[in-house]
Amino acid sequence: MSVIRNILNSRSSQGGNFFNILTQILGFKPKSLTHYKKAFTHRSLNRKDEEGNAINFERMEFLGDAMLSAVVASHLFKAVPGGNEGYLTKMRSKVVSRKHLNELGKDLGLINHVQTNIPKDQFGVNIHGNLFEALVGAIYLDRGYKYCKRFIYERVIDPYVDIEQLEGKVISYKSLVIEWCQKEKKEFDYEVYEDTGNDELKHFAVKLRINQRVVAKARATSKKKAEEKASKRAYYALQNKIE
């Protein structure tokens, strides 16, 4: 009776919509909404439990990240019996990359359900992936490993994990360029400087030099993005040599 009561209470919370929304996202009915509510609570609300512990999705995000890595690692271990540790680690990184998780969270519209005191248009792009990981953590706590694995297969592995495509997928052009420079004993340098221009948002510009010669330039809203953008341009300019 207590389980039924919890479910009925869960259905009536947040205007009676949250239970139905979760069921559509998950593909199965949650037992209790407690963990899911935490998975969609931003730290800006400054909520705490009776013991003074913070209530937000950050700890859930940590758990979800671990579950994603474990399930994907298990799948790759079975799918590629000849893959060594380095190969499997690289392949797993491609599946659970921040960019991919952000795309998954965005496709599910998870940001529409987060509770926060911050305007949602002020969040960085990583909020989508963070919420996706938190949701996976909530599933594990609510329904256990079996349902968690099922969700990861349906949302991540079955639609997106193609071994041949993953082998050719580049995670970081900067890493590729640096690795090539080090292998070929070439000097390289990323010169980063602020470039506000006429844009409302602050931008950063990057010049990538290899052996004292500028091979690529780029600008973006963060140093990391600008460096990656410049590295991608350098990679395609030097593709024949690098490959």
pLDDT of residue 10: 41
* DSSP state for residue 211 in the 8-state scheme: T
Q: Which residue has the higher pLDDT, 200 or 138?
A: 138
pLDDT of residue 220: 87
Residue with tokens 């010169």, as numbered in its chain: 191
Give the rounded percent of residues in the chain with a pLDDT score beyond 70. Answer: 91
Whether the predicted pLDDT of 134 surpasses 90 = yes
2-166 is classed CATH 1.10.1520.10: yes
Whether the predicted pLDDT of 87 surpasses 80 = yes
Beta strands 213-220 and 204-210 are antiparallel
Residue with tokens 């509770």, as numbered in its chain: 115
Model confidence at 117, pLDDT cuts 50, 70, 90, reads very high
Q: According to DSSP H, which parts of 110-222 are helical?
A: 126-152, 158-160, 163-167, 173-183
pLDDT of residue 198: 66
- Rounded distance, CA 178 to CA 188, Å? 8
- Please say if 49 is a catalytic residue: no
* DSSP state for residue 81 in the 8-state scheme: T
Whether the predicted pLDDT of 79 surpasses 60 = yes
Q: How many Å from the N-terminal Cα to the C-terminal Cα in the chain?
A: 64
20 is in an annotated binding site: no
130 is in an annotated binding site: yes
pLDDT of residue 167: 76
pLDDT of residue 28: 95
What does the pLDDT look like over 157-192, one tens digit per residue? 999 888 877 777 777 788 889 888 998 999 999 998
At the topology level of CATH, where does 173-242 sit? Double Stranded RNA Binding Domain (3.30.160)
Q: How far is CA 28 from CA 25, 37, 127, 139, 146, in A?
A: 8, 17, 24, 10, 12
Mean pLDDT score, 121-133: 93
Model confidence at 16, pLDDT cuts 50, 70, 90, reads low
133 is in an annotated binding site: yes
Active-site choice (49, 107, 133, 179): 133
Give the global pTM.
0.69
Q: Whole-number mean pLDDT of the chain?
A: 87
What are the structural domain ranges in the chain? 2-166, 173-242
- Please say if 133 is a catalytic residue: yes
Active-site choice (49, 65, 162, 167): 65
